[in-house]
Structure 1
Amino acid sequence: MRKPPRALIVALAAAGTLLVPAAAAAAPADVTASDCIAGGGMVVVEARSDDGQIVWSKHCAGGLHDGRTVL
């Protein structure tokens, strides 16, 4: 029985590591409103209605902390 070429094994191993999601990069840290503004962004306050209940959320728009949740 023939052994697979070493280059094929290395390529498959490299492809497997690229397909693993980076969990740490997917969850940005929360910031304070002061940090958001100091980083050049602005605090956006949103109100949505989910099944009759109002849900409030705040996030930083623009600047250094763009997209992060504001505490």
Structure 2
Amino acid sequence: MPTQVVRNPVGPDQLNMLQQVFDQACIEHNINKASPDGEALALILVHSMQKGLSEKEKLESLAHILAESREP
């Protein structure tokens, strides 16, 4: 029997916060938003919020770690 992953809906305020975190990470780490790295970062941030990571500071930290891990 497959395990079901619980994903909560993202509301307008949360979406706005995600956008801010994503935009800032892209600026700080020179990531093109439409690039595969940008798309992966956005997807991971949204999924993380859906799974319960809702504090801005923790999302910023996650975005920073992910962005740094992609740099050579």
TM-score above 0.5: no
Larger relative contact order (CA 8 Å, sep ≥ 6): 2
Instruction: Give the greater-gyration-radius structure (CA).
Output: 1
Q: Which has the higher strand share?
A: 1
TM-score of the pair, normalised by structure 1: 0.26
